[in-house]
């Protein structure tokens, strides 16, 4: 463990750097299970995460030492279990705002929690919640971000990008991490004030494909519609042929990957 100079109240003040780990989320879970209470805001950062995961058990591929792979430990006990997705919104907004300090245009959040730049994926978030009965005990937030990677597998070349690919220059990993920690903390404290509608509005306004006609697939059927909102529970709200419809995770698939 080490102290650092992040300009935050608590997020990232306890920073643990690892050379290699299966998953930073798993590392935090082991710490909580075996070592007792963990300081809120603890960040676990790894040079190489060899079993990183995305949503629905997807594998997150990243080149060792070039990108950010880290997890953040928070205790959002103030948040009702039914509104867990609001934490996802706060974290996504924080990452988006941090990246916009480096990249002025094109950063979007692809529902539910991917980070995109002009139609290509830069990173993603995996949140694992620890519940105790009906109480929201803690949350482990895994974040993967392509920073200095410039070579991608052939099947990802048209769908993935990195900060270096966009800026055509190497980026300091710790500077990016510091900004992400600072901005997530701001949004987390905003969430804590209870002004949920403002948070939802901010999240939705920065969504990939928001208010833009696009193609989607649901149960094998191609649909034309546009995103008009997201509920506090995380349901995607689409306007399709004049009808408002809501979809849960994995119920609907984005088809077109252009801007």
Q: What is the pLDDT of residue 53?
A: 53
The pLDDT score that the predictor gives to residue 242 is 95
DSSP string, 180-207: HHHHHHHHHHHHHTT-HHHHHHHHHHTB
C-beta separation of 216 from 222 below 8 A: yes
Query: Which pLDDT score, from 0 to 100, does residue 22 have?
Result: 92
pLDDT (0 to 100) of residue 101: 98
CA dist., res. 167 & res. 157, Å (int): 17
How far the first Cα of the chain sits from its last, in Å, is 41
pLDDT of the residue at 4: 61
The one-character DSSP state at 210 is B
List the pLDDT tens digit at each of the 259 positions of the chain. Answer: 455 668 999 999 999 999 999 999 999 999 998 877 899 999 999 998 876 555 444 444 567 789 999 999 999 999 999 999 999 999 999 999 999 999 999 999 999 999 999 999 999 999 999 998 888 999 999 999 999 999 998 888 889 999 999 999 999 999 999 999 999 999 999 999 999 999 999 999 999 999 999 999 999 999 999 999 999 999 999 999 999 999 998 899 999 654 4
pLDDT of residue 132: 87
The pLDDT tens digits of the residues spanning 144-164 come to 999 999 999 888 888 999 999
Contact criterion met (CB below 8 Å) for 238 and 228: yes
DSSP, collapsed to helix, strand or coil, labels residue 30 as helix
Report whether 117 contacts 147 (CB < 8 A).
no
Which among 79, 92, 75, 27 has a CA at the least distance from the CA of 53?
A: 27
* b/e 147-166 (16+ beta carbons within 10 angstroms → b): bbbeebeeeeeeebbbbbbb
Confirm if 115 and 100 have CB atoms less than 8 A apart: no
Q: How many residues does the chain have?
A: 259
In the chain the domains, ranked by start, together with CATH numbers, are 15-205 (3.30.930.10), 214-254 (2.30.30)
Which residue has tokens 């990452």? 95
Q: How many CB atoms lie within 10 A of CB 168?
A: 7
Pinpoint the alpha helices (H) of 40-172: 85-99, 163-167
């Amino acid at each position: 463990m080490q102290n650092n100079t992040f300009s935050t109240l608590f997020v990232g003040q306890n920073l643990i750097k690892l050379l290699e780990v299966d998953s930073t989320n798993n590392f935090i879970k082991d710490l909580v299970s075996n070592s007792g209470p963990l300081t809120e805001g603890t960040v676990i950062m790894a040079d190489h995460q060899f079993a990183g995961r995305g949503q629905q058990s997807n594998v997150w591929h990243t080149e060792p030492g070039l990108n950010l792979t880290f997890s953040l430990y928070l205790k959002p006990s103030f948040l009702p279990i039914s509104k867990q997705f609001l934490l996802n919104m706060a974290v996504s907004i924080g990452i988006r705002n941090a990246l916009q300090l480096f990249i002025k245009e094109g950063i979007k959040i692809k529902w539910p929690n991917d980070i995109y730049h002009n139609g290509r994926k830069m990173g993603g978030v995996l949140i694992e919640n620890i519940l105790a009965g009906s109480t929201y005990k803690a949350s482990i937030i895994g974040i993967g971000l392509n920073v200095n990677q410039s070579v991608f597998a052939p099947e990802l070349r048209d769908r993935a990008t990195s900060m270096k690919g966009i800026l055509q220059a190497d980026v300091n990993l710790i500077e990016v991490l510091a900004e992400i920690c600072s901005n997530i903390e701001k949004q987390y404290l905003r969430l804590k004030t209870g002004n949920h509608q403002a948070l939802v509005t901010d999240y939705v306004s920065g969504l990939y494909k928001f208010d833009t006609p696009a193609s989607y697939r649901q149960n094998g059927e191609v649909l034309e519609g546009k995103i008009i909102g997201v509920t506090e529970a995380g349901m995607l709200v689409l306007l399709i042929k004049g009808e408002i419809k809501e979809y849960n995770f994995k119920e609907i698939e984005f088809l077109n990957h252009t801007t």
